[in-house]
């Protein structure tokens, strides 16, 4: 039968009873003849609790020590889930990231996976065990515990699926698939039966919280079929039925994808953004690197970038970062960049949001941008920045208009129509 990696999010393992339900679900798949590797997150809210404890002792926690603290949440759940499986008569064995040796770089709190030693996992699978591996964590070459950043358990699961050449990776969450937008914001949002990796990557990058962006990158790079499922359904749901539920993230060349593809697949949004403007910088070669190089060196991700047309030998550069990195980025610019490039001012705004429309159909349909901009203009929503790719258009707007923008765009592109 198949080798399947199943990942369960924090809500899915948020209590002892929910852990029992996860164990029942895993046991069901095992009884159907499949080999299982299970990757649980920490219990819901646990990582936030651990980080809050660290900040009580050190307002800006040392990154290495913060990883030591934050990685313990998953260690609890792998042990509890293994116990629950054993209680059901299923052979199970748990491993932390460092025991498996999920080797990462040393960028504490946001490390990237370099390689995975799958020898121990394969040995246990061969002997009939369900292998339970801690998500979100790994170890660097010096033996330091590392974590992969928020949502990193998704990345752990897909990376394990790629290393093991699994037949499919199941991501169980508190929703039953990928929707055209967040149904909590737009009740008319529809669940998508399929979505391409490319679209899912753009959706994740634009703020969709269903999957962590690096997990989608892994899945697309190594062609791991990935299915988003709900862990809140009946654990006794027949395997054949569950295997066809949720949303399958697949490849553009699949024939049924080409036949059913709508122009726009979804509207994504992200309110965890901040905008930074560096004013009156010399308009010369290398200035972009002089500004963004130190930001990159601090492992701060930059998203939308706009440079104004130069005037009198000067220009302005504006870019967005995650809101959690805003203060750190501004400090770097003021302390290191401003004295070097002699800019006039570094200013910012933490009250912005990104809204994006995503769809493979943009490649063959004109007028998508015009329709998006007209829809926002009719609602009096001012666009501060614009960024585009082949299949995505992103605008930065004032945070107070974000929900309205999502609703009107979802309607304008008829995403509520089956």
* pLDDT tens figures, 148-200: 987 899 999 999 999 999 999 999 988 889 999 998 899 999 999 999 988 98
Q: What is the mean pLDDT of residues 203-219?
A: 79
Helix axes 72-87, 16-31, angle to 10 degrees: 60
The predicted structure's pLDDT at residue 261: 56
Contact assessment for residue 47 and residue 62, using Cβ atoms and an 8 Å cutoff: no
Domains of the chain: 3-175+210-258 (3.40.1160.10), 266-412 (3.30.2130.10)
Per-residue pLDDT reduced to its tens digit, 326-339: 999 999 999 999 99
Tokens of 325: 């990195």
Residue 393 is classified by DSSP as E
Greater pLDDT, 62 or 341:
62
Neighbour-count burial of 286, counting CB atoms closer than 10 A to its CB (0-12 exposed, 13-18 middle, 19+ buried): exposed
Q: Where are the alpha helices (DSSP H) in 44-90?
A: 46-57, 63-70, 72-87
Rounded to whole angstroms, how far apart are CA atoms 119 and 335? 47
Q: What is the mean pLDDT of residues 371-381?
A: 97
Contact assessment for residue 222 and residue 167, using Cβ atoms and an 8 Å cutoff: no
Rounded to whole angstroms, how far apart are CA atoms 205 and 207? 6
Ranked by mean pLDDT, the top range of 106-110, 258-262, 281-285 is 106-110
Rounded to whole angstroms, the maximal C-alpha distance in the chain is 76
Distances from the Cα of 241 to the Cα of 205, 210, 366, angstroms: 31, 22, 39
Give yes or no for residue 130 having a pLDDT over 70. Answer: yes
What's this model's pTM, rounded to 2 decimal places?
Answer: 0.80
Lowest mean pLDDT segment, chosen from 66-80, 299-313, 318-332: 299-313
Rounded to whole angstroms, how far apart are CA atoms 363 and 297? 35
pLDDT confidence of 212, banded at 50, 70, 90?
confident
Per-residue pLDDT reduced to its tens digit, 10-41: 999 999 999 999 999 999 999 999 999 999 99
The predicted structure's pLDDT at residue 252: 63
Rounded to whole angstroms, how far apart are CA atoms 36 and 165? 12
The predicted structure's pLDDT at residue 254: 52
The predicted structure's pLDDT at residue 259: 45
């Amino acid at each position: 039968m198949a080798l399947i990696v199943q990942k369960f999010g924090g809500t899915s393992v948020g209590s002892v009873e929910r852990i029992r339900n996860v164990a029942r679900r895993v046991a069901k798949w095992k009884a159907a003849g499949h080999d299982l590797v299970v990757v649980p997150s920490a219990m819901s809210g646990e990582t936030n609790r651990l980080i809050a404890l660290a900040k009580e002792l050190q307002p800006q926690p040392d990154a290495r020590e913060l990883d030591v603290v934050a990685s313990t949440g998953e260690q609890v759940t792998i042990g509890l889930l293994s116990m629950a499986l054993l209680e059901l008569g299923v052979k199970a064995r748990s491993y932390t990231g460092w025991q498996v040796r999920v080797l990462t770089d040393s960028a504490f709190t946001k490390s990237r996976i370099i390689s995975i030693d799958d020898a121990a996992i394969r040995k246990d699978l061969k002997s009939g065990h369900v292998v339970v591996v801690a998500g979100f964590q790994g170890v660097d070459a010096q033996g330091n515990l590392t974590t992969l950043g928020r949502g990193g358990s998704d990345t752990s699961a897909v990376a394990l699926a790629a290393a093991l050449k699994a037949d499919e990776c199941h991501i169980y969450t508190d929703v039953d698939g990928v929707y055209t937008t967040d149904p909590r914001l737009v009740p008319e949002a529809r669940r998508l039966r399929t979505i391409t990796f490319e679209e899912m990557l753009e959706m994740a990058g634009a703020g969709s919280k269903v999957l962590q962006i690096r997990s989608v990158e892994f899945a697309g790079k190594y062609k791991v079929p990935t299915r988003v499922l709900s862990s809140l359904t009946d654990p006794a749901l027949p395997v054949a039925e569950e295997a066809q539920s949720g949303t399958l993230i697949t490849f553009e060349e699949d024939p049924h994808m080409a036949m059913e593809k709508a122009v726009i697949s979804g509207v994504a949004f992200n309110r965890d953004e901040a905008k930074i403007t560096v004013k009156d910088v010399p308009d010369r070669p290398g200035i972009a690197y002089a500004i963004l190089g130190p930001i990159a060196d601090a492992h701060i991700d930059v998203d939308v970038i706009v440079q104004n047309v130069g005037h009198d030998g000067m220009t302005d550069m504006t870019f967005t970062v995650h809101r959690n990195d805003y203060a750190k980025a501004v400090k770097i610019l003021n302390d290191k960049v401003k004295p070097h490039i002699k800019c006039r001012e570094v200013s910012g705004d933490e009250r912005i949001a990104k809204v994006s429309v995503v769809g493979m159909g943009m490649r063959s349909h004109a007028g998508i941008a015009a329709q998006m901009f007209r829809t926002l203009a009719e609602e009096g929503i001012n666009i501060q920045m614009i960024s585009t790719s082949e299949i995505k258009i992103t605008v930065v707007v004032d945070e107070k208009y974000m929900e309205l923008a999502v609703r009107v765009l979802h309607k304008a592109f008829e995403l509520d129509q089956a």
